[in-house]
Amino acid sequence: MRKTVLFVVVIMLGLVSFVHVATGAPIPNELEVQFWPEYDDNQVLFMETVQFPSDTPLPVEVKMAMPKGASVIWTGEILGGPTSQDIQAQPTINDKGDYDEAVFTLTKSRIAQLEARWNGLKTSGDERSLLYDWIQRYEAKQTKFTLKAPSQSTDVKMTPASQTQGSSPDNLNNYSTAPLPLAVGQKQTIDIKYKRSITGPSVTKQQQQQPAQGENGAGAGAAPTDNMGLIFIALIIGGVGFLLYQKIRNRNA
């Protein structure tokens, strides 16, 4: 009886370990939140890019928070090559009260992206402003915020202050904050101001391309660690448990 109980305990420990590996929620290495005002219309193209560690088992569910009332135009997987090869995913949109949530699944890549239109830009003559209280809804090791300033914009100011500035392939200036270690529930106010004497979008419909992922592309295109790997781990645990049982049985024979 004692041998049988011991054997069952060992097998149960193996199963518990397997379930933990299979269901443990992975934490993204980075979340990038981007604001592209007056990009291809007179409002804001709002984007989020989530990057998971390269060894994250697939498939993995992704949850992204976006401004209330924003209209999703694309969600999917970034593969790191031509944007035409990225995989579009069908999201589930959930009303969370003071924000909206997009949920979809990654199956081939560990980089997820959301693109939405948001009526968050205020205009007064040449003055433009965008004020948003970002609440960290989901875990990420670090979060950064990026502004893509529209064409012919001047006197650009961003809070938190940008740490890096660069030019994008569409000849617009990007301003990015330092990565911030935001805890779930923590608020970070994003305050953007600039001047622009012209109206109209920065790019035409012919120029517009599906935006690529943020600067960090590591992990894109990596070979997926899928459920076969988890099954292999479970078999190893089960095998070790059986060997321990055999050893104890032989010793007590």
Buried b / exposed e across 102-136, counting CB within 10 Å, b at 16+? bebebeebbbbbbbbbbebbeeeeeebebebebeb
Q: Provide the pLDDT for residue 206.
A: 61
Q: Is residue 150's pLDDT more than 60?
A: yes
**How many Cβ atoms are within 10 Å of 176's Cβ, its own excluded?**
20
Q: Provide the pLDDT for residue 210.
A: 46
Backbone φ and ψ of 195, nearest 5°: -115, 145
pTM of the predicted structure, to 2 decimals: 0.75
Which segment of 4-13, 119-128, 206-215 scores lowest on mean pLDDT? 4-13
Write the pLDDT tens digit of every residue in 25-83: 799 999 999 999 999 999 999 999 999 999 999 999 999 999 999 999 999 999 999 99
Q: Provide the pLDDT for residue 235.
A: 53
- Alpha-carbon distance of 36 to 46, in angstroms, equals 6
Q: Provide the pLDDT for residue 75.
A: 98
Q: Provide the pLDDT for residue 155.
A: 98
Instruction: Please name the amino acid found at residue 210.
Output: Q
Structure tokens at 176: 């990015």
Q: Is residue 106's pLDDT more than 90?
A: yes
Q: What is the mean pLDDT of the chain?
A: 83
Structure tokens at 145: 């915020």
Higher pLDDT, 219 or 138: 138
Beta strands in the chain (DSSP E): 30-37, 44-51, 60-66, 71-77, 87-88, 92-95, 100-106, 111-118, 122-124, 127-135, 143-148, 153-159, 162-167, 173-177, 187-196
Higher pLDDT, 205 or 96: 96
Q: Provide the pLDDT for residue 25.
A: 76
Residue with token string 């990057």? 51
Q: Provide the pLDDT for residue 248.
A: 55
Which segment of 13-17, 27-31, 53-57, 240-244 scores lowest on mean pLDDT? 13-17
